[in-house]
Structure 1
Amino acid sequence: MRIIFTFLLMAMGLSATSLAQLNKAAFPFSYLNTNIKSLSLGNATVSLNGIGNEEINPAVAAQEGVLQIIPIWDLYIGRYRLLFKQRGLSTNYRFSNSTVGLSIHLNKVRLSTGHAFSAPYLYKVPNDEIYIRSNYSYSFQSGVTLGAGLNYLYSSEAPRSQISTQKIKKTHSFSIDLGAKYQLQNIQVGMFSFEPHMGLALTDFGRPAHYIYEDSKFPLPTVLRMGGAANIELDKRVYGLNLIELTAVQNVSKIMARMKDQPDEYGHRNEAMNPFKALIKSWGTYKYRIRSGMMKHNLSEQLWWHSGVELKLLEALNIRWGYQKAGEAEKSLSYWALGGGIDLYYLVFDYTYLNNKEEDLLEGHHWQITGRIPLDGTRSDTILNALFN
């Protein structure tokens, strides 16, 4: 699977060496996924439905007539004494073939000591950021779902360095998300039904922003994702519920943020590339400078791989495993995850443990509660019916 993906992407390579990845992107924390279920599957959810997956792909088909709400309440502590606190709310609702979603993310970034911040993000600490995301999708009877999202990104004023009294001005920007999903018809093989689906998404696409310098612009953390999944279900019911279901997912993604050398009176400087040009010219070798010198990574080393497996019992008990292999320049964001969940219909509890070798932002335990409010007065039978009837 990886060989096929890599070949297809390398066939699109149209440029020579180019600059920038996530470490040169404005509003870099908007790249972080806040949905615990998606994180526990290695972020390999570009083809899956369900609330929270809008952060990966806006083409999400929600449950019809049911308002879903997820409080966002998490804290990441990085190895470089970086404290990243998230607060917010995510919600969506489906009526007929349309799904609408809205989420608000309030982020606080702090450095608890004077240690240098060398994680793969632009340095802007302490800083408060606000991300407001809205999305709309439409599902066709053919199995195709198309979606689009509009995002508002805000970053507060921040000191230019740990010892400087100069300030980096506050800034804001807008970005769009585009996505598509295709769900194929069920394939029946003996006692098993097989349902494949695939997805494609481009997120955080927009004009560059003055993030840390007033005289330079930085690209948004635009990401292209593609991949597929398969649901395998045993045709056996217990208490009126499906006994067992297995979902396997595999995605690949690439950060499309790019800079270019811009001549000036001092020789040259780096400037954000036009985002439309970046979609074409970001397939070549990526180069960047570190203390030991210039580093280069070809296309295959820029790709992120996402894998996950979910086992569901009686439509209520879930066990999940996931793995995210980040590109070489951002390899500190690679992780594996083990998690689970309990779906009681009105309330869904999800948990995951993320193991990160670098002990970076994602390391540790994460919890999530999802609330469902059926506004149409109906609901499906769940394991609660079997327990109390």
Structure 2
Amino acid sequence: MKKLVRRWWEKRGKLQVTPSWQNYFWRLRLGWDHRGVKANYRRGPSTFGISLQRIEAGEQVTSYGGLEPILYKYVHYDLMVKTSYSHSFQNGLTAGMAINYLYSSQASGTRISTQLVAPNTSVSLDLGANYQFPKIQSSGFILSPHLGMALTDFGAPSHYADPDTKHPLATTLRLGGGANIALNKKVYGWQVVELSVMQNVSKVLARIEVKSNDNGFYRNAMNPFKALVKSWGTYEYYDGPRIKKSNFSEQLWWHSGVELKFLETIALRWGYQKAGKAEEEMSYRALGAGIDLYYLVFDYTHIKNDEDDNLLVGHHWQITGRIPLDGTRPDTILNMLFD
């Protein structure tokens, strides 16, 4: 037993921790406060992760000529917990899964219009896989392509704002690929230049059905297993008072990204998301930069869309800490500059 413990201790991996704090503002709210922390522990081919996020909403402000829309909840908070595990196989395949838990206080004890809203919980599942192709190496560069897919937020419908109506979770199927191109030249052991490109496409697999009972017609979430099959055709949606249709191609979301990294330390990034027709306001462009000092990683992103009416629009800062638990002390660019 002592030998097993010693062997496990000697193979200790790396712990990575990322705190998060954001303040979001919108015309109907005084603001949302977002606080949380993400951590993952990598040991050999296995990676364990946990994420805790809490979003608290401020009071709703009067708008639209004194009318307060009843579709938005009053003071409440949401708590999101995610646990994940992934395993990398020797053939280049990595597979993983995650369990998500969401608790929403939903303005417990207050009324929205004439409706008393109670707290709500939901549980969902993420599944994903990525295949890393063998590297293609020449005298000038090293090419590392990969393909991946994921099904996220798959779970039972949830009573979100109306206890008499079930709303579907945003189950999403994602497919995509990318490549890392590194100049076959190193300085002080670091790659001089690396270029990473990514192109993904995603499709929401969730539907709301119109049903009938003795009281008339009502809307309810489609069974999530049924929605996996029935969410590929054209559907109708409301755009204000008008009813519009969205065909398959108009339901696709496109995600593109490029990162240019120098000496494995300084990164410049560009990203673009084109949302589906019914969610066009969620399309945005992003520019970012990062500095990776191994023990500390600093990242900045600026997000913008055409409407400037999105909670994500604006400046985003992130700091990540890495803790090597195996006793190693990797060099950083600071060693090259100051040694």
**What TM-score results when the alignment is normalised by the length of structure 2?**
0.90
1:154 aligns with 2:103: yes
The alpha-carbon deviation at position 323 of structure 1 amounts to 0.4
1:373 aligns with 2:323: yes
Give the counterpart letter for 1:314 in structure 2. L
Corresponding position of 1:39? none
How many angstroms apart in 2 are the aligned matches of 1:369 and 1:241? 22
Mark the structure with the bigger radius of gyration: 2
SS at match of 2:233: coil
Give the counterpart letter for 1:312 in structure 2. K
Corresponding position of 2:304? 355
Q: Which deviates more from structure 2 when the two are superposed, residues 227-236 or residues 165-174?
A: 165-174
Q: Work out which of the residue numbers 93, 96, 99 in structure 1 matches 2:41.
A: 93
1:307 aligns with 2:256: yes
Unaligned runs of 5+ in 2: 1-11, 65-70
Query: Contact 1:124 / 1:160 at 8 angstroms: preserved in 2?
Result: no
The alpha-carbon deviation at position 358 of structure 1 amounts to 1.8
How many angstroms apart in 1 are the aligned matches of 2:216 and 2:268? 56
Alignment of 1:11-26 (within 5 A): none
The alpha-carbon deviation at position 166 of structure 1 amounts to 4.0
The alpha-carbon deviation at position 378 of structure 1 amounts to 1.2
The one-character-per-residue Cα deviations of 1:201-253 (angstroms, maximum 9, x if unpaired) are 11111001111111111111111111001000001111221100000100011
How many angstroms apart in 1 are the aligned matches of 2:249 and 2:30? 30
1:326 aligns with 2:275: yes
Query: Contact 2:14 / 2:326 at 8 angstroms: preserved in 1?
Result: yes
Corresponding position of 1:280? 229
Aligned residue pairs, count:
319
How many angstroms apart in 1 are the aligned matches of 2:239 and 2:303? 28
Query: Contact 1:132 / 1:153 at 8 angstroms: preserved in 2?
Result: yes
Q: Which deviates more from structure 2 when the two are superposed, residues 334-343 or residues 290-299?
A: 290-299
Give the counterpart letter for 1:269 in structure 2. Y
The structure richer in strand per residue is 2
How many angstroms apart in 2 are the aligned matches of 1:154 and 1:74? 19
Give the counterpart letter for 2:84 in structure 1. N
The alpha-carbon deviation at position 192 of structure 1 amounts to 0.6
SS at match of 1:67: strand
How many angstroms apart in 1 are the aligned matches of 2:111 and 2:247? 33
Query: Contact 2:60 / 2:75 at 8 angstroms: preserved in 1?
Result: no
Give the counterpart letter for 2:337 in structure 1. L
1:228 aligns with 2:177: yes
How many angstroms apart in 2 are the aligned matches of 1:274 and 1:387? 59
How many angstroms apart in 2 are the aligned matches of 1:387 and 1:111? 50
SS at match of 1:126: coil
Change beyond 3 A, Cα 1:79–1:252: farther
SS at match of 1:102: strand
1:208 aligns with 2:154: no
SS at match of 1:193: strand
CA RMSD of aligned residues (A): 1.6
How many angstroms apart in 2 are the aligned matches of 1:186 and 1:361? 40
How many angstroms apart in 2 are the aligned matches of 1:82 and 1:189? 56
How many angstroms apart in 2 are the aligned matches of 1:82 and 1:225? 34
How many angstroms apart in 1 are the aligned matches of 2:144 and 2:330? 21
Q: Work out which of the residue numbers 136, 140, 159 in structure 2 matches 1:187.
A: 136
Corresponding position of 1:46? none
Give the counterpart letter for 1:76 in structure 2. Y
Query: Contact 1:333 / 1:362 at 8 angstroms: preserved in 2?
Result: no
Change beyond 3 A, Cα 1:240–1:254: same
SS at match of 1:371: strand
How many angstroms apart in 2 are the aligned matches of 1:105 and 1:89? 7
Corresponding position of 1:271? 220
The alpha-carbon deviation at position 97 of structure 1 amounts to 1.2
Question: Relative contact order: is structure 1 or structure 2 higher (C-alpha 8 Å, sep ≥ 6)?
Answer: 1
How many angstroms apart in 2 are the aligned matches of 1:222 and 1:80? 27
Give the counterpart letter for 1:75 in structure 2. N
The alpha-carbon deviation at position 127 of structure 1 amounts to 2.5
How many angstroms apart in 1 are the aligned matches of 2:245 and 2:126? 29
Corresponding position of 2:201? 252
SS at match of 1:337: strand
How many angstroms apart in 1 are the aligned matches of 2:164 and 2:47? 41
Aligned-residue identity in percent: 55
SS at match of 1:149: strand
Change beyond 3 A, Cα 1:157–1:112: closer
The one-character-per-residue Cα deviations of 1:24-78 (angstroms, maximum 9, x if unpaired) are xxxxxxxxxxxxxxxxxxxxxxxxxxxxxxxxxxxxxxxx811000001012223
Corresponding position of 2:243? 294
Change beyond 3 A, Cα 1:290–1:266: farther
**What TM-score results when the alignment is normalised by the length of structure 1?**
0.79
The one-character-per-residue Cα deviations of 1:100-122 (angstroms, maximum 9, x if unpaired) are 00000101233542236xxxxx7
Query: Contact 1:111 / 1:125 at 8 angstroms: preserved in 2?
Result: yes
